[in-house]
Every structure is written in C-alpha cells, then in structure tokens.
Chain A
Amino acid sequence: MPIWFELIVLLLATYAVGFGIGWAIWGREHKGAD
C-alpha cells in the first residue's frame, strides 16, 4: 500500500474520531446517563 494512501486513511480516521467526539458533546439530544 502506498504510504500516501495509508496517510490519507489515517487522517480520515482521525477526522472521524474528531467528528465523533463533537457528536458526543453536541449532537446527542438526550444526554442522560449511559
């Protein structure tokens, strides 16, 4: 696998993790106890 491809995949994964963190903070309507 080319190195740039791997880099892009990792960056996208990191972006998705960041989006997930943002969703957990602001996106959930019912923020009750899990």
Chain B
Amino acid sequence: MQELAQAYWPYFIIALLIGIAVAWWCFVALRRTRVVTENNDVLDEGAAPAARNQALIDAPPASFLAAEPEDVAAPAPPAGSYADDMTRIKGVGPKLVTLLKDLGITSFAQIAAWDDAEIDRIDSKLGRFEGRIRRDDWVTQAQLLASGDTGAYEDRFGKV
C-alpha cells in the first residue's frame, strides 16, 4: 500500500480534491435559493396609500348604498309583521328561505295572502324550485301557521 501511495500520490490528491468538490456541490450549490422578501410596510410608500386604506375601512358597508329594489311591485311586509321561521313550512329549506328573503317574503302572513296571480309571479322566480308552492300548498300551510292553528296544521300536513 505504501508503494502504491508513493507511486500514485498525485492521483490521491486529485481524488481528495474531487471528494471535496463533490461535497461542496452537494451542500452548497444544490441548496435551494433563499427568497428574501422585504416586508414592505404600506407607510414606506408614503402616507397616501395608508390614508386610502383607512378611508375604505371607515366607509359605511356597501349594503347602505344598495340600489332600489328591482321589483317595485313586490309587496312590502305588512306593518307589524316580523320574520317567521319559513322552514316550518314543509317543502321550504334553507336555500328557499334565502330565495324568499331576497324576494322580500319573510312571514307566513305574506304567503297566506297570496292569490293565484301572486303564486305564479313568485313561482316564476324560484328557479329550480318552481312548482313547489302549489305542490306543497304553501298558502294553506302559511295560513294555518300564521293563525297558530297547529292542530289543524298537523291534521293536514303532519307534525309541525
């Protein structure tokens, strides 16, 4: 072995250097680039953007600036009525409640007062729920629920 080392020492030096070079390549060159992000404070760009942001924060909610209701003919909730739990009507689930609310219908009294023309009008706006009003007889249900006649309601439609 000693003879080999003495005879081929340049090769050993080269092998050593290659080992060091490969280690450098593995541990230094292949390292992922570190992304240095500067945390730009909005105030660094001047006070104007901060002032604008603050104005947006302080602005009233957009709902206050809502346009007029698109359907002027929609009946306003009768004076003195309050929002009922519309899901008590069989056939009305959370999605329909939202839909009806968007149409301005939030109480049993409103539905109880519908005539055929009104039923058709509302029905046409229900989209995939079209036909439910008559199928589930919302008007009768609403009339019974509005009057509080749970006995008659249960006789006809089942448990409230």
C-beta contact mask, B20-57 vs A, less than 8 Å → 1, else 0? 11111011100000000000000000000000000000
Number of A-B contacts (CB under 8 A): 64
Q: Given A3-B4, A10-B1, A27-B27, decide whether A22 and B20 contact each other with a Cβ distance below 8 A.
A: yes
Q: Are A19 and B4 in contact (CB under 8 A)?
A: no
A33 at the interface (CB under 8 A from B): no
Interchain nearest-CB distance for A31 vs B (Å): 12
Please state if B16 and A26 are interface contacts (CB–CB under 8 Å).
no
Determine whether the beta carbon of B15 is less than 8 Å from that of A21. Answer: no
Contact assessment for A16 and B19 in the assembled complex, using a CB-CB cutoff below 8 Å: yes
Instruction: List which A1-34 residues lie within 8 A (CB) of chain B.
Output: 3, 6-7, 10-12, 14-23, 25-27
Q: Tell whether, in the assembled complex, residue B23 and residue A14 are in contact, meaning their CB atoms are under 8 Å apart.
A: no
Interface of A (DSSP majority class): helix
Instruction: Kindly state the separation between the CA atoms of A25 and B5 in the bound complex, as whole angstroms.
Output: 26
B15 to A15, Cβ gap below 8 A?
Answer: yes
Residues of A within 8 A of B1 (CB): 6, 10
Which of the residues A3, A7, A18 comes within 8 Å of B23, measured between beta carbons?
A18
CB nearest neighbor in B for A12: B15
* Chain A positions within 8 Å of B16 at CB level: 14-15, 17-18, 21
Docked CA distance A7–B12 (Å): 9
In the assembled complex, B17 has its CB within 8 A of some CB on chain A: yes
B8 at the interface (CB under 8 A from A): yes
B152, CB-defined interface residue at 8 Å: no
Using Cβ atoms and an 8 Å threshold, which residues of chain B touch A25? 23-24
CA distance A14 to B15 in the complex (A): 6
Can you list 22 A-B contacts (CB < 8 A)? A6-B4, A7-B11, A10-B1, A10-B5, A12-B15, A14-B15, A14-B16, A14-B19, A15-B16, A16-B19, A17-B19, A18-B23, A20-B23, A22-B19, A22-B21, A22-B23, A22-B24, A23-B23, A23-B27, A27-B23, A27-B26, A27-B27
